Amino acid sequence: MPNTGGISVDIELTINGERTTVEASSAADLATVLRQHGYIGVKCGCDGGTCGASKVFVDGEVHMACGMAATDADGSDIRTVGALGTQDVLHPVQQAFVDNFAVQCGFCIPGMVIQAVSLLESNPDPTERKVREALDDNVCRCTGYQKPVEAVLDAAERMEGEQSVSADGGHPVSTPVRGAESAGCSGGGRDE
């Protein structure tokens, strides 16, 4: 674990549907802790809460995990990009990003997908302007903004006929991304 200072504490989290207790520094941010425990779909781009790469759902709301103290998430339900689809069955938003060639290096995509899913959950038929506003704080270093916007609009169309499926239990939830060694926002080993 990177030396983030603070004392070691236990934090109770439900991550992608799995209840767990994680040991973390009291000074650690949530993105660091999630990545240390294998949820490497949470990216660390700026570590300053401005690029959107570390976005996750916390109790249903989108948060930049790098800007949130892990201790503040104690007792929360966390959903990362790893919960949205599987390699074989992507979430419609993920599939739309692929099909619309919206992915370049891919680093910003988990945050964009989280934000897009949040938008479509609250507004299933957004205008292009609403999509652009929603993605406004998701920075893409490859400068690929047009394709992601097209992908989100495409995903909205694809998901239009899935509302009944959603009402019956939602989209498939994958096994969380696991297996990474410590690679947090506060430490080295970023998988850029």
Question: Which residues of the shown chain bind ligand FES in the complex (CB under 6 A)?
Answer: 31, 44-47, 49-54, 64, 66, 103-108, 140-142, 144
Closest distance between ligand FES and the C-beta of residue 39, in Å?
14
Closest distance between ligand FES and the C-beta of residue 101, in Å?
11
Q: Which is nearer to ligand FES, 29 or 120 (CB)?
A: 29
Q: Which is nearer to ligand FES, 16 or 54 (CB)?
A: 54
Reading the block at residue 53, the tokens are 């790469």
What letter does residue 25 receive in the DSSP assignment?
A: E
Q: Which is nearer to ligand FES, 119 or 151 (CB)?
A: 151
Closest listed residue to residue 92, CA positions, set 174, 144, 156, 145: 156
Closest distance between ligand FES and the C-beta of residue 79, in Å?
16
Range list of β-strands (E), the chain: 8-15, 18-25, 55-58, 61-64, 77-79
Pairing state between β 61-64 and 55-58: antiparallel
78, 16 Cβ separation under 8 angstroms: yes
Closest distance between ligand FES and the C-beta of residue 163, in Å?
29
